[in-house]
Amino acid sequence: MKSNSEKSKKDYFIAIGIIVVIAMMLISLPTPLLDAFMALNLMGSLAIILIVLYSKKPSEFSIFPTLLLIATVFGLGLNISSTRLILLKGAAFDGRIIRAFSRFVVGGSGGESLVIGVIIFIILIAVQLVVITRGATRSAEVAARFTLDSMVQKNLSIDSQVQSGAISAEEGMRRRAALKQEVDFYSAMDGASKFVSGNVKVGILITLVNIFGGLIVGICFKNEPFGDAVRNYTTLTIGDGLVTQFPALLISTATAMIVTRSVASDSFAAEFSKQFAKEPGVFLISGFFALFLAIVPGFHKAWFVLVILAAVAFIAGLRMRRDMGNKKEESSPDSEGSEKGGQRTISMPAVQKVDPVSLELGAALIPLVSGKDDFLDRITGLRSQVAMELGFVAPKVRIKDNLQLGRSEYCIKIRDIEADRASVRMGRYLAVDFDGICPELDGEPVKEPVSGSRSYWISESEKESAQAKGYFISDVPSLIITHLTEVVKLNAPTLLGRQELSAMLEEVSKSAPAVVDEVKSLLSLGEIHKVIQNLLKEQVSVRDLVTVLEALCDAAPKSKDITFLTEKTRQALARQITAAQLSKDRQLHVITLSPELEQLIAGTKTLDRELEKKISLSALKMASEIRAKGFKPVLLCMEQSRPAVKRAVPQLCVMSVLELAEGVKNEFYGQVEIQDNN
């Protein structure tokens, strides 16, 4: 409540300020209030230029463009209000700030001083208009153009760093926000700089109008002598012009400084002293030059000033040289002592974090990352695809070069251990024969890295011909992304750690807190984790985590055996598992175990290697016949037998009869039988 009230007070304060500015243009202000506002204008403009000096980078003072507009309008309001009072009161005008400027800056009250004041005012306007304002406007235009032109490249660089793991996603978001703020700032400054030049031009116009208008009012309406009218209104107008244009000069200078400053690690004063201190010889040379001028005819009369400046330069240069020598001495003894003692201090590198997933590229594949294609965006899409298919967010993929690989090789690592590698041909396409029925091609024969299907590397001119023959065509980026996706999916149990599972449970607790609380009271995080890993090991999606947890809640009171819990969870996901194995005709194409084999497997928890080999050979032979017809083979067995059968035939989808969804049609292809060859 306190913060909201403070915020509303600040809003009211800004609103009142705007109303005051409008009022200055419409009504006549008392001269004490006008003096107060003019003093405020001077202090505010000085504060703005000091803030610019102390800012490390321009975008830190992000409100400057808006503040520049407000300050300009405020100054114009003061100018209009003071003009009204000068024309109304004439010689009786009692504004102390304007009177003080007209006497102090001009230097007197005579005709000579009046001419000097006019000249100073003209010089001030010329410097502001020709030098500072024009330069600031041009700098703002160039800065805005170059910042906008580099925005795309900088965003791509940030995306590349996020994808490679060099920075976190949160840091990437922060840098994108900072980049957007920088672009918005320079775009706003491009327009705001026009306010400054317009303010100077209007100031000249107001001054001329004040002088001629004052003469008309003084001579025609107040019957003042011509000389008195000229002296009174010109003096007051010059004083008014100086008191309003001096803050405008400070604002113009601040505008020029903020658009010409580059991003630095410290304020302007600190950077100034740091960078000038790099070369002590500069000050020594400057000191010798000052001494030389002291003996040159015409300059020798000012020898005492030049000698003092030379002495200051010599002292500064010698002190800087001494400080640099001390720094070198401080760093050298340690290294010398270690060499003399025959010992060297070896700094152990910090323990490197293990990358969950990394993609290492050979020299010829590096352009994939630095190029303008969507390779990095597609890797980001990979994580979304895995999340949709398996129900957990895959970790970030770190991309790096590896000169130990072949030029056209890439390597996929899971937790810094190589999971797979392959070789590609940049600039060519891979024609894949997934069905094994396409005629041969003239290209370089290879095996497709994911499925192992017969493939050929072909040129772009051969693409249409290969497609006409039934080949699937893949470019190099698509091939690598597909391979990487499959490796990530196969290693999903390894990639999903307990910390990631804990985050998933926290997310589920937002919508189903009762389920999460119950499962945590029945099972430990480690037990839940093992069940989830078993599901992912067989590519069963845990996207419907609520159903998984409810199944664990139902099964845990009966037994906490991980295999039992896994089977009960699979049965709860029967519709999902069945839907994933439906072929294009919306049927399951199944093979089963013979009753004798079912009875044999159910009677033992583990199968000997010889029996596993026989079951595998028989099941895979029948499955190949189903695949040849374009269908997905499914090995169906009893609940008690399924874990053992899956270990014997890991290449096939093994389902228990309790995992069949209702209403799904099955086409039976035969039974797996073990015959005694003796």
- What 3 state SS string does 399-454 have? EEECCCCCCCEEEEEECCEEEEEEECCCCCEEEEECCCCCCCCCCEEEECCCCCCE
Across residues 396-420, what is the average pLDDT?
89
Could you say which architecture CATH assigns to the domain 357-492?
3-Layer(aba) Sandwich (3.40)
Q: Per-residue pLDDT averaged across 177-192, rounded? A: 72
Domain ranges of the chain: 2-134+193-264, 277-324, 357-492, 496-572, 575-678
Q: Considering only residues 331 and 404, tell me which one the structure prediction assigns the higher pLDDT.
A: 404
Contact criterion met (CB below 8 Å) for 471 and 438: yes
The alpha-helical segments, DSSP class H, found in 165-276 are: 169-216, 226-260, 268-276
| Three-state DSSP state, 654 | strand
Whether the per-residue pLDDT at 666 is higher than 70: the answer is yes
For residue 660, what are its two tokens?
């069949």
CB 675 within 8 A of CB 593: no
pTM above 0.75, yes or no: no
Average pLDDT over residues 543-572: 93
6-10, 272-276, 464-468, 555-559: the lowest-pLDDT one: 6-10
Structure tokens that stand for 255 in this block: 């505008």
pLDDT of residue 109: 55
Considering the four listed CATH numbers 1.10.10.10, 3.40.440.10, 3.40.50.2300, 1.10.8.540, the one that applies to the domain covering 496-572 is: 1.10.8.540
Arithmetic mean of pLDDT, 90-102? 76
Q: What is the pLDDT of residue 350?
A: 45
Least confident residue range of 50-59, 128-137, 265-274, 404-413? 265-274
Whole-number pLDDT of residue 111? 60
pLDDT tier at 64, thresholds 50, 70, 90: confident
**What average pLDDT score do residues 404-419 get?**
90
Count Cα neighbours of 643 within 13 Å in the Cβ-side half-sphere.
16
Taking a C-beta distance cutoff of 8 angstroms, is the pair 282, 290 a contact? no
Instruction: For residues 418-442, give the mean pLDDT.
Output: 88
Question: Which is higher by pLDDT, 345 or 148?
Answer: 148
Q: Look at residues 408, 478, 492, 470 and name the one whose alpha carbon lies nearest to residue 450.
A: 478
User: Could you identify the residue written with the tokens 């974090």?
Assistant: 353
Query: What number of CA atoms fall less than 13 Å from residue 36's CA on the CB side?
Result: 7
Q: Do domains 357-492 and 496-572 have the same CATH topology?
A: no
CB 379 within 8 A of CB 487: no
Residue 520 pLDDT: 92
pLDDT digits (tens, 9 = 90+) for 222-274: 777 777 777 777 777 777 777 777 787 787 777 777 766 654 555 666 666 66
Average pLDDT over the chain, rounded to an integer = 79
Tell whether the model's pLDDT for residue 654 goes beyond 90. yes
Give the dihedral of Cα atoms 595, 596, 599, 605; nearest 10 deg. Answer: -120
* 454 or 183, greater pLDDT: 454
Q: Are the CB atoms for 398 and 164 separated by under 8 Å?
A: yes
3-state secondary structure of 289: helix
pLDDT of residue 343: 45
Domain 575-678 matching CATH 3.40.50.12790: the answer reads: yes
Most confident listed range (26-30, 176-180, 392-396, 522-526): 522-526
Contact 86, 236 (CB under 8 A): yes
Would you say residue 503 has pLDDT above 60?
yes
3-state secondary structure at position 458: strand
